[in-house]
Amino acid sequence: MSKKQLHRMPPPTNLEGGDEGCGILHVDMDAFFVSVELRERPELRGSPVIVGGVGARGVVSSASYEARDRGVHSAMPMSRARRLCPEAVVLPVDHGKYAVVSAEVMEIFRTVTPLVEPLSLDEAFLDVSGARRRMGSPASIGQTIRAEVAGRLGITCSVGVAGTKFVAKLASTRCKPDGLFVVPVGETVPFLHALPIGALWGVGESTEQRLRALGPRTVGDLARMSRDVLCRRLGGALGAHLHDLSWGRDPRRVVTDTPDRSISGEETFPRDVADPEVVRRELLRLSERVAARLRHAEVAGRTVAIKLRRADFSTITRARTLGEPTDMARDIYHTVTSLYEASGLVGTPLRLVGVRVANLVERAGTVHQMALGEGDSAWREAERAVDRLTTRFGAGAIGPASLIRRPASSEHDEVAE
DNA sequence: TCTGGGGTCCTGCGGCTG
DNA sequence: TCTGCAGCCGCAGGACCC
């Protein structure tokens, strides 16, 4: 069960509880991808709609509440979603479109406070402590935001108001869809203690099973456990973190600018692929994609990693740290193919390959070192020229000759023998 | 039933270094 | 020169989140 499903209830909007000390808002768009699609397809309102991968191995990215009532939820395999809800309209994911609407949503938030921390395309934390005098209480600011988003963008959102990020997030989940929920500071602990342990941020399926073996069923049960026992059984960091959360202690502030730590790309094949040449071509494509994103973000990375998932879903990762940071597809591709050759999985049927670059640094600090090699600067210019053409004519306008699709067979048709 | 893609963080281990 | 130790770093894997 996903976190977002845990507390599905009629949307309460409680403004009378008192919001003194509640400076944190968590704003979560309702079924965001579906809501954006429905702006263009209003005739589908009220029907089950699913946005997700339409290929053989697609999963649900977003489902309308009509589809959720049939048991469909995000991350569910599309094949199962279609069985549960055969009449659902299934639409492909269009990240570019959602990013545009997301930017407009964040702009609305920033008219309220500069302290906005986006968590993803469809949710953000806002610290509105400093906006009280100008805009009123946190709860009324939440109502203003909901009205602005609905009025200007035609989509709904839910707002949680609390004294900490974690509780604000639980509060927005409690009032979905299209609601607002305040957890007064004085009621934080009773509010938390009534929840199941799975509601805690950091408790997924695996940790929940381990916790169940220890006995607690609710956050209150967990809070009354010895902190030492939790740390011993779950590890120091997780044990202490969960114990703190269970008593409403969450010192994390709203942070407006968190630098990326890694940039990655991965691809699941429609069918498992054993042919090393096809795998290498996919690694080249992913290297190109990741390098372009690094250059666009004006960062370079020192650690290059490969991810290989076998047909049985077991996954290995291999990484190598380079002498100097790079943002060049040629370097990334050479590293990942070398890791692939050394992985022992050449010729093994694979369902997914991925490329990741980590240990990122701002490129301004790396230019001198990287320009030392003459060959490098020529390649750098070539890759920058590709960036310029791609910006002007779109992705796919230019690329390595080895990625040009041959007319007789499509890339992914070359499946395992 | 059969599991995407993009991330972050934590843990444990081994190697290196002073 | 060898050994023990602590600290750091890189790596691999797992768990989690949206």
pLDDT, tens digit (0-9, with 9 covering 90-100), for A279-298: 999 999 999 999 999 999 89
Closest CA to A230 of A243, A246, A248, A217: A243
The nt closest to A293 (CA vs C1′) is: B6
> What gap in Å lies between CA A202 and CA A206, rounded to an integer?
10
The nt closest to A208 (CA vs C1′) is: C15
Distance A356 CA to C14 C1' (A): 17
With distances taken from each CA to the C1' atom of nucleotide C10, the closest residue turns out to be A321
A194-213 tens-digit pLDDT: 999 999 988 988 899 888 88
Distance A359 CA to C7 C1' (A): 20
**Which residues 15 to 34 of A reach strand B, CB within 7 A?**
none
* Cβ-based neighbour number of residue A15 at 10 Å: 15
Distance A300 CA to C4 C1' (A): 39
A50-62 tens-digit pLDDT: 999 988 899 999 9
Q: In A217-311, which ranges are continuous DSSP H helix?
A: 219-223, 227-234, 236-246, 276-296
> What gap in Å lies between CA A344 and CA A390, rounded to an integer?
35
- Residues of chain A below pLDDT 70: 1-17, 365-376, 391-417
- Within 7 Å: CB of A202 and strand C? yes
The two tokens of residue A178 are 């299209």
The two tokens of residue A307 are 């991810």
In degrees to the nearest 10, what's the CA dihedral of A38, A39, A43, A49?
0
- Within 7 Å: CB of A201 and strand C? yes
Distance A233 CA to B11 C1' (A): 13
- Within 7 Å: CB of A315 and strand C? yes
The nt closest to A198 (CA vs C1′) is: C16
- Within 7 Å: CB of A354 and strand B? yes
**Which residues 389 to 408 of A reach strand C, CB within 7 A?**
none
The two tokens of residue A344 are 């022992």
Nucleotides of B under 7 A from a protein CB: 1-12
With distances taken from each CA to the C1' atom of nucleotide C14, the closest residue turns out to be A206
- Within 7 Å: CB of A264 and strand B? yes
Widest distance between CA atoms in chain A: 69
Q: Report residue A161 CA to chain centroid gap.
A: 22
* Cβ-based neighbour number of residue A162 at 10 Å: 30
> What gap in Å lies between CA A182 and CA A128, rounded to an integer?
14
The residues near A128 (Cβ < 8 Å, ≥ 6 apart) are A23, A24, A25, A112, A113, A115, A135, A138, A141
> What gap in Å lies between CA A170 and CA A6, rounded to an integer?
10
Q: In A303-373, which ranges are continuous DSSP H helix?
A: 329-342, 367-370
Closest CA to A63 of A99, A102, A89, A27: A89
pLDDT at A13: 62
Distance A300 CA to B6 C1' (A): 18
A253: DSSP letter: P
pLDDT at A117: 93
Nucleotides of C under 7 A from a protein CB: 10-18
- Within 7 Å: CB of A75 and strand C? yes
pLDDT at A275: 94
The residues of A that are catalytic are 123
Distance A343 CA to B14 C1' (A): 19
Taking each helix axis as running N to C, give the angle between helix A32-40 and helix A95-112, from 0 to 180 degrees, rounded to the nearest 10. Answer: 110
Distance A305 CA to B17 C1' (A): 26
Give the DSSP H or E segment for A132.
Answer: helix A132-135
Contact A187, A180 (CB under 8 A): no
With distances taken from each CA to the C1' atom of nucleotide B12, the closest residue turns out to be A235
- Within 7 Å: CB of A71 and strand B? no
pLDDT at A380: 73
> What gap in Å lies between CA A365 and CA A385, rounded to an integer?
22
With distances taken from each CA to the C1' atom of nucleotide B3, the closest residue turns out to be A77
Whole-prediction pTM? 0.88
With distances taken from each CA to the C1' atom of nucleotide B8, the closest residue turns out to be A261
Distance A345 CA to B16 C1' (A): 29
Residue with tokens 């090699």: A373
The two tokens of residue A8 are 């599905």
pLDDT at A12: 52
